[in-house]
Amino acid sequence: NAGVTQTPKFQVLKTGQSMTLQCAQDMNHEYMSWYRQDPGMGLRLIHYSVGAGITDQGEVPNGYNVSRSTTEDFPLRLLSAAPSQTSVYFCASSYSGAWGHNEQFFGPGTRLTVL
């Protein structure tokens, strides 16, 4: 099992550009999510999905879009990049249910810089 994979590992954008961060998992997990990690702020939830075709907003969704057309993939789109979106982005997946007890598996992260 590859687990949770993310591409690219590093990316530099100019303000106003758009891009898609890719995330895939091969564990047949229903639940997938995107977090951003900023110094002194821990990880904050951007968007999440409880299954194919179902997505919802997290704590900091503005400027990001997601879709979930398959169980395996959960791409994160930046519509018009801003310097405030400079961050490290983590994708995570887990089984759903069990009332929040399930371990989440994290990808290696994408370090994004917006100039």
Partner 1 sequence: GDSVTQMEGPVTLSEEAFLTINCTYTATGYPSLFWYVQYPGEGLQLLLKATKADDKGSNKGFEATYRKETTSFHLEKGSVQVSDSAVYFCALSEGGATNKLIFGTGTLLAVQP
Which residues bind to partner 1, rule: CB under 8 A? Answer: 4, 31, 33, 35, 40-45, 48, 50, 58, 90, 92, 94, 96-97, 99-109
Nearer to partner 1, 17 or 71 (CB): 71
CB of 82 to partner 1, least distance (A): 23
Minimum Å gap between C-beta 48 and partner 1 is: 6
Q: What's the rounded Cα separation, in Å, for the pair 94 and 100?
A: 10
Give the nearer residue to partner 1 in terms of CB position, either 51 or 83: 51
In the complex, minimum distance from the CB of residue 21 to partner 1, in angstroms, rounded to a whole number: 14
Output the CA angle 104-107-110, nearest 5 degrees: 135
Nearest distance in Å: CB 14, partner 1: 26
CA 86 to chain centre: 14
Q: 46 phi and psi, to 5 degrees? A: -95, -60
- CB-nearer residue toward partner 1: 17 or 73: 73
Rg (C-alpha) for the chain, rounded Å, is: 13
Residue closer to partner 1 by CB (options 44, 75) is 44
Q: At 104, list the tokens.
A: 């989440």
Does residue 68 contact residue 49 with C-beta atoms inside 8 Å? yes
